[in-house]
Amino acid sequence: MSIYFCFIHVVFLICAAASAESEQVLVDDKLLEGGSSPGRRTGTLYCRVGIGFHLQIHPDGRVNGSHAPDHLSLLELFAVSQGIVGIRGVFSKRYLAMNKRGRLHAIEKFTEDCKFRERFQENSYNTYASATHRNHRSGREWFVALNKRGKAKMGSSTRVKSQHVSTHFLPRFNLQEKSEQGFTITEYSKEKTKAPPVQPVQPVPPSPVLRVNSGPKRLGTVKYWPKFRFG
Protein backbone atom coordinates (compact mmCIF):
# COMPACT_ATOMS: atom_id res chain seq x y z
CA MET A 1 0.00 0.00 0.00
CA SER A 2 2.84 2.38 0.81
CA ILE A 3 4.45 1.62 -2.55
CA TYR A 4 1.24 2.64 -4.30
CA PHE A 5 1.08 5.97 -2.46
CA CYS A 6 4.78 6.59 -3.17
CA PHE A 7 4.16 5.93 -6.86
CA ILE A 8 1.21 8.37 -6.89
CA HIS A 9 3.32 10.98 -5.09
CA VAL A 10 6.14 10.65 -7.64
CA VAL A 11 3.70 10.96 -10.54
CA PHE A 12 2.17 14.05 -8.93
CA LEU A 13 5.60 15.68 -8.56
CA ILE A 14 6.45 14.94 -12.20
CA CYS A 15 3.17 16.44 -13.40
CA ALA A 16 3.68 19.53 -11.24
CA ALA A 17 7.20 20.04 -12.59
CA ALA A 18 5.98 19.61 -16.17
CA SER A 19 3.16 22.14 -15.65
CA ALA A 20 5.56 24.64 -14.07
CA GLU A 21 7.95 24.24 -16.98
CA SER A 22 5.14 24.71 -19.51
CA GLU A 23 4.00 27.84 -17.71
CA GLN A 24 7.55 29.17 -17.80
CA VAL A 25 7.75 28.44 -21.53
CA LEU A 26 4.49 30.31 -22.09
CA VAL A 27 5.80 33.26 -20.11
CA ASP A 28 9.02 33.26 -22.14
CA ASP A 29 7.08 33.06 -25.39
CA LYS A 30 4.91 36.00 -24.36
CA LEU A 31 8.04 37.91 -23.39
CA LEU A 32 9.76 37.21 -26.72
CA GLU A 33 6.81 37.47 -29.09
CA GLY A 34 4.89 40.17 -27.26
CA GLY A 35 4.63 43.75 -28.30
CA SER A 36 6.61 46.67 -27.00
CA SER A 37 7.55 46.58 -23.35
CA PRO A 38 9.66 48.77 -21.08
CA GLY A 39 12.51 46.21 -21.22
CA ARG A 40 12.86 46.33 -25.01
CA ARG A 41 15.40 48.55 -26.77
CA THR A 42 15.96 48.86 -30.51
CA GLY A 43 19.21 50.16 -31.98
CA THR A 44 22.75 49.09 -32.81
CA LEU A 45 25.74 47.75 -30.85
CA TYR A 46 28.93 49.56 -31.84
CA CYS A 47 32.28 47.92 -31.10
CA ARG A 48 35.24 50.30 -31.08
CA VAL A 49 37.85 47.70 -32.10
CA GLY A 50 39.85 48.54 -35.23
CA ILE A 51 38.03 51.11 -37.36
CA GLY A 52 34.82 50.45 -35.44
CA PHE A 53 32.14 47.89 -36.30
CA HIS A 54 28.40 47.46 -35.76
CA LEU A 55 27.31 43.98 -34.71
CA GLN A 56 25.29 42.24 -37.46
CA ILE A 57 23.01 39.17 -37.45
CA HIS A 58 22.46 37.57 -40.88
CA PRO A 59 19.42 35.48 -41.90
CA ASP A 60 21.70 32.47 -42.55
CA GLY A 61 22.97 32.48 -38.96
CA ARG A 62 26.27 34.29 -39.48
CA VAL A 63 27.41 36.94 -37.01
CA ASN A 64 29.96 39.63 -37.88
CA GLY A 65 30.47 43.38 -37.88
CA SER A 66 30.08 46.16 -40.44
CA HIS A 67 31.69 49.57 -40.31
CA ALA A 68 28.61 51.35 -41.70
CA PRO A 69 25.31 50.48 -39.98
CA ASP A 70 22.58 48.95 -42.14
CA HIS A 71 19.40 46.89 -41.79
CA LEU A 72 21.35 43.84 -40.57
CA SER A 73 22.85 45.81 -37.67
CA LEU A 74 19.45 46.88 -36.32
CA LEU A 75 19.06 44.83 -33.13
CA GLU A 76 16.47 44.45 -30.41
CA LEU A 77 17.63 43.95 -26.83
CA PHE A 78 15.05 42.68 -24.34
CA ALA A 79 15.32 41.85 -20.65
CA VAL A 80 14.94 38.18 -19.68
CA SER A 81 15.71 38.56 -15.98
CA GLN A 82 17.73 40.87 -13.78
CA GLY A 83 20.98 41.59 -15.63
CA ILE A 84 20.22 39.00 -18.35
CA VAL A 85 19.25 40.13 -21.85
CA GLY A 86 18.54 38.62 -25.24
CA ILE A 87 19.68 40.06 -28.57
CA ARG A 88 17.52 39.65 -31.68
CA GLY A 89 18.07 40.83 -35.24
CA VAL A 90 15.11 42.89 -36.39
CA PHE A 91 15.62 42.06 -40.09
CA SER A 92 16.91 38.48 -39.77
CA LYS A 93 14.48 37.58 -36.94
CA ARG A 94 17.20 35.43 -35.36
CA TYR A 95 18.60 35.45 -31.83
CA LEU A 96 22.26 35.85 -31.00
CA ALA A 97 23.61 32.69 -29.32
CA MET A 98 26.88 31.22 -28.07
CA ASN A 99 27.36 27.45 -28.09
CA LYS A 100 29.32 25.34 -25.61
CA ARG A 101 32.53 25.89 -27.60
CA GLY A 102 32.22 29.69 -27.41
CA ARG A 103 31.25 30.21 -31.05
CA LEU A 104 28.83 33.00 -31.89
CA HIS A 105 25.93 32.24 -34.22
CA ALA A 106 22.26 33.10 -34.70
CA ILE A 107 19.28 30.77 -34.30
CA GLU A 108 15.56 31.09 -34.96
CA LYS A 109 14.27 29.98 -31.54
CA PHE A 110 15.26 31.48 -28.20
CA THR A 111 17.17 29.00 -25.99
CA GLU A 112 19.49 29.07 -23.00
CA ASP A 113 22.41 29.79 -25.35
CA CYS A 114 20.78 33.14 -26.20
CA LYS A 115 21.02 34.57 -22.68
CA PHE A 116 23.79 37.10 -22.07
CA ARG A 117 24.82 38.98 -18.97
CA GLU A 118 24.95 42.72 -19.64
CA ARG A 119 27.44 44.77 -17.60
CA PHE A 120 28.14 48.50 -17.73
CA GLN A 121 31.83 49.42 -17.78
CA GLU A 122 33.48 52.54 -16.43
CA ASN A 123 34.20 53.85 -19.95
CA SER A 124 30.45 53.97 -20.78
CA TYR A 125 30.70 50.79 -22.88
CA ASN A 126 28.91 47.50 -22.22
CA THR A 127 30.08 43.89 -22.22
CA TYR A 128 27.92 40.85 -22.98
CA ALA A 129 28.98 37.53 -21.46
CA SER A 130 27.25 34.20 -21.94
CA ALA A 131 25.00 33.42 -18.99
CA THR A 132 25.11 29.67 -19.75
CA HIS A 133 28.64 28.78 -20.88
CA ARG A 134 32.02 29.61 -19.36
CA ASN A 135 35.36 28.00 -18.60
CA HIS A 136 34.53 25.30 -16.05
CA ARG A 137 38.11 25.05 -14.77
CA SER A 138 38.93 28.69 -14.16
CA GLY A 139 35.39 30.09 -14.12
CA ARG A 140 36.36 32.73 -16.70
CA GLU A 141 33.39 34.16 -18.58
CA TRP A 142 33.01 34.04 -22.36
CA PHE A 143 32.24 37.40 -23.99
CA VAL A 144 30.78 38.55 -27.29
CA ALA A 145 33.70 40.02 -29.24
CA LEU A 146 34.79 41.13 -32.73
CA ASN A 147 38.31 41.23 -34.16
CA LYS A 148 39.98 44.05 -36.11
CA ARG A 149 38.51 42.80 -39.40
CA GLY A 150 34.95 42.69 -38.06
CA LYS A 151 34.71 38.91 -37.67
CA ALA A 152 33.22 37.25 -34.59
CA LYS A 153 35.80 35.93 -32.15
CA MET A 154 35.55 32.75 -30.11
CA GLY A 155 34.36 33.60 -26.63
CA SER A 156 36.42 30.72 -25.23
CA SER A 157 39.66 32.29 -26.48
CA THR A 158 42.08 33.31 -23.75
CA ARG A 159 42.58 36.66 -25.50
CA VAL A 160 38.91 37.61 -25.14
CA LYS A 161 38.68 39.45 -21.85
CA SER A 162 36.42 42.12 -20.41
CA GLN A 163 39.33 44.61 -20.41
CA HIS A 164 39.93 44.28 -24.16
CA VAL A 165 38.33 46.72 -26.60
CA SER A 166 37.06 43.81 -28.74
CA THR A 167 34.43 43.07 -26.07
CA HIS A 168 33.32 46.68 -25.56
CA PHE A 169 30.04 47.64 -27.23
CA LEU A 170 28.29 51.00 -27.19
CA PRO A 171 24.49 50.72 -27.43
CA ARG A 172 23.01 53.27 -29.82
CA PHE A 173 19.28 53.03 -29.34
CA ASN A 174 16.52 54.67 -31.34
CA LEU A 175 15.21 57.78 -29.56
CA GLN A 176 12.23 58.51 -31.79
CA GLU A 177 9.77 57.37 -29.13
CA LYS A 178 11.29 59.76 -26.63
CA SER A 179 11.20 62.76 -28.93
CA GLU A 180 7.77 63.77 -27.65
CA GLN A 181 9.12 64.07 -24.13
CA GLY A 182 11.90 66.46 -25.11
CA PHE A 183 11.99 70.20 -24.72
CA THR A 184 13.82 73.12 -26.28
CA ILE A 185 15.79 75.89 -24.61
CA THR A 186 15.83 79.41 -26.03
CA GLU A 187 18.85 81.57 -25.25
CA TYR A 188 17.83 84.72 -23.43
CA SER A 189 20.62 86.80 -24.98
CA LYS A 190 19.45 86.08 -28.53
CA GLU A 191 15.87 86.75 -27.57
CA LYS A 192 16.83 90.00 -25.91
CA THR A 193 18.81 91.40 -28.86
CA LYS A 194 16.05 90.69 -31.35
CA ALA A 195 15.04 93.92 -33.09
CA PRO A 196 11.47 95.10 -32.51
CA PRO A 197 9.10 94.90 -35.46
CA VAL A 198 9.09 97.96 -37.69
CA GLN A 199 5.86 99.91 -37.42
CA PRO A 200 4.43 101.36 -40.65
CA VAL A 201 4.99 105.08 -40.96
CA GLN A 202 1.74 107.03 -40.88
CA PRO A 203 1.57 109.85 -43.42
CA VAL A 204 1.69 113.30 -41.79
CA PRO A 205 -1.25 115.46 -42.83
CA PRO A 206 -0.25 118.80 -44.33
CA SER A 207 -0.42 121.78 -41.98
CA PRO A 208 -3.13 124.33 -42.79
CA VAL A 209 -1.93 127.47 -44.58
CA LEU A 210 -2.99 130.71 -42.94
CA ARG A 211 -3.86 133.42 -45.39
CA VAL A 212 -3.98 137.04 -44.22
CA ASN A 213 -6.09 139.49 -46.12
CA SER A 214 -3.75 142.43 -46.79
CA GLY A 215 -6.22 144.52 -48.75
CA PRO A 216 -6.37 145.22 -52.44
CA LYS A 217 -3.16 144.76 -54.36
CA ARG A 218 -1.55 147.74 -56.15
CA LEU A 219 -0.57 147.07 -59.65
CA GLY A 220 1.30 150.41 -60.20
CA THR A 221 5.03 150.97 -59.52
CA VAL A 222 6.09 153.89 -57.26
CA LYS A 223 9.49 155.49 -57.91
CA TYR A 224 11.36 157.71 -55.42
CA TRP A 225 13.80 160.37 -56.69
CA PRO A 226 16.49 161.64 -54.32
CA LYS A 227 16.63 165.31 -53.55
CA PHE A 228 19.98 167.10 -53.71
CA ARG A 229 20.61 170.46 -52.06
CA PHE A 230 23.44 172.65 -53.40
CA GLY A 231 24.86 175.79 -51.75
Q: pTM of the full predicted structure?
A: 0.62
Residues 6+ apart with CB under 8 A from 66: 53, 54, 56, 72, 73, 150
Per-residue pLDDT, 175: 47
Q: Which amino acid makes up residue 117?
A: R
The neighbour count for residue 135, using CB atoms within 10 Å, is 13
The two beta strands, 63-66 and 169-173, are unpaired
pLDDT at 34: 45
Find residue 84's DSSP bridge partners. Answer: 81, 117
C-alpha of 27 from chain center: 27
pLDDT tens for residues 88-109?
A: 999 999 999 999 999 999 999 9
The residues spanned by each domain of the chain are 37-173
CATH code that applies to domain 37-173: 2.80.10.50
What pLDDT is stored for residue 225 in this prediction?
A: 57
- What pLDDT is stored for residue 85 in this prediction? 96
**Cα of 147 vs its chain's centroid, Å:** 25
Q: In this structure, how many other beta carbons lie within 10 angstroms of the beta carbon of residue 28?
A: 13
**Dist CA 139 CA 103 (whole Å):** 17
Task: Please name every residue paired with 179 in a beta bridge, in sequence order, or none if there are none.
Answer: none
Residue 174's CB is within 10 A of a number of other CB atoms, namely 11
| 25-55 confidence digits (pLDDT tens) | 443 444 444 444 557 899 999 999 999 999 9
Residues of the chain with pLDDT under 50: 1, 20-36, 175-184, 186, 231
d(CA 40, CA 45): 14
The closest of 161, 10, 107, 140 to 115, measured between CA atoms, is 107
What span, in angstroms and rounded, lies between the C-alpha atoms of 163 and 141?
12
